[in-house]
Amino acid sequence: MAAFVELSAGSEPVSALDALVAEAGIVAGVDAALLAELAERAQAPGFARAELQIAAGVPATRGLAGCIELAFEQGLAPGRMSDDGHMDFFERGLLKAVTIEQIVARVVPPEPGQAGYTVTGEVLPAQSGTAAKLLLGAGVVADTEGVVRARHGGVVLYRAGEALDVVAQHVHRGAVDLHTGHLDMQGSLSVKGDVERLLRVSATGDLEVLGSVSGGSLRAGGSIRVSGSVRGGDDARVIAGHDATLKSCEAADVTAFGSLRVQEAVNSQLSGQQVLVTGRLRGGSALAERTLVVKEAGTSSGMATLLRAGEPLDVPDLEGVQRAVMMQKLRRMAERGGVRDAFGRRGSGRAKGGRLGRLNAELSAEEQQERAEHAARRAELARTAVIELGVLYPGVELRIGSASLQFEQVVRGLRYSLSPETGQLVAERTLA
């Protein structure tokens, strides 16, 4: 990589040094100015001897190693700032949820490096940087530029320096607690533990909890199954887009837009298209759009229990809640006689052309249409709704449509429906 020359008194002139360098095969990296200077120094009086470097090669360089640039934050977050400015310490982001085609990462290729050479002109090849090692799973795909996208919705599974994937089904091995924070899944999720108070587990697909739920909330676009008990409290709810199956629940609010099946329920609010209580229903209420079947309703002590059928399910979505809040705000403002705070000026809500007046009129028309549709739906459901009972104790009330019955004695093995002629509840004996 370097060439040296040894000079002594009376050495050859520079032209001769050039020839000697060339004869030695040194053709690259020669410092001609230094060579000439040395030749002159060798002719100076008093010069004795010197050994100096006159040429140097250039080493090959290694390029920068490739790397993985992740499009999500690893690990747990301390919380997340909410829209109203407070820190929600339950939003810890344990599951990295992504949607279809969302960018997950970028594979940055290694740089090629630069070639070098020796003083004899031999080329030293460049050393490319080390490529990042990453095995891509079936749930992701990389384009020609190294951008990695999700093939489908799900959560990211990443092992640093090893593998990256997006899965639509995930198993959380443990409890959902203050350490994990809320779990939000794009796809189906199985929780092998309990869901603790104030914690939320949501999935766009099916949701399974192999433990119990104590004051936590479950929401699923598909079905929900809970192996243990469900205890309500605070604003905890269980909402399934399809079916829901529970072992038992107490003071819980459970809604299934398909079938709801529960063994035991105490002081709970149950709602579903079909509701089946295979054991005892004590206190609270059960509402079914079409069919409500209860093996044992109420208690011998007369605990108030409400059974309803033929009622449309009513679970407002986020937009519905926001609309209701806006309507309430507008009504309160109208009662105060102005809209200054909301619209920057003060004026009567009934004033001709007033913005509040127009909004109230639009909301009122929307409300009227919704109420009319709800009433038509309710009448349709009531005509075919059925409540079937194994044993019914005093204190239980039945309702189908606007018809109702309250019981003061034990009733066994009856099925109730709405008579189209009288509009009253009629009973028939079941085989049970």
pLDDT at 22: 75
Please tell me which residue, 328 or 186, carries the higher pLDDT value: 186
pLDDT in tens, 212-252: 999 999 999 999 999 999 999 878 899 999 999 999 999 99
Residue 426 domain flag: no
Same-domain status, 216 and 281? yes
Strand-pair category, 163-167 with 183-185 = unpaired
Mean pLDDT computed over every residue of the chain: 84
- For the chain, give the percent of residues with pLDDT over 70: 84
Same-domain status, 233 and 263? yes
Residue 403 domain flag: no
Residue 341: pLDDT band with limits 50, 70, 90: very low
Least confidently predicted of 130-134, 176-180, 342-346: 342-346
Residue 363: pLDDT band with limits 50, 70, 90: low
pLDDT at 124: 87
pLDDT at 343: 38
Q: DSSP states of 34-101 as a string?
A: HHHHHHHHHHSTT--EEEEEEEE-B--BBPPPPEEEESS--S--S-EE-TTS-EETT----S-EE-TT
Domain that holds residue 332: 318-381
Residue 176 domain flag: yes
pLDDT at 212: 97
Same-domain status, 141 and 189? no
Residue 84: pLDDT band with limits 50, 70, 90: confident
Same-domain status, 31 and 99? no
The predicted model scores a pTM of 0.73
Same-domain status, 175 and 309? yes
Same-domain status, 196 and 295? yes
Residue 179 domain flag: yes
The amino acid at 126: A
Q: What is the mean pLDDT of residues 275-279?
A: 97
Same-domain status, 310 and 198? yes
Residue 395 domain flag: no
Residue 147 has pLDDT above 80, yes or no: yes
Cα–Cα separations (whole angstroms), residue 263 to 177, 195, 205: 26, 20, 24
For residue 61, what are its two tokens? Answer: 């360089």
Same-domain status, 188 and 292? yes
Same-domain status, 74 and 152? yes
Percentages helix, strand, coil for the chain (3-state, rounded to 5) are: 15, 45, 40
Same-domain status, 272 and 363? no
Residue 96 domain flag: yes
Which sign, positive or negative, has the C-alpha torsion 17, 19, 24, 29? positive
For residue 339, what are its two tokens? Answer: 């809209």
Number of folded domains in the chain? Answer: 4
Same-domain status, 188 and 214? yes
Same-domain status, 91 and 108? yes
| Torsion angle of the four alpha carbons 274, 205, 317, 260, in this order, in degrees rounded to the nearest 10 | 20
pLDDT at 196: 95
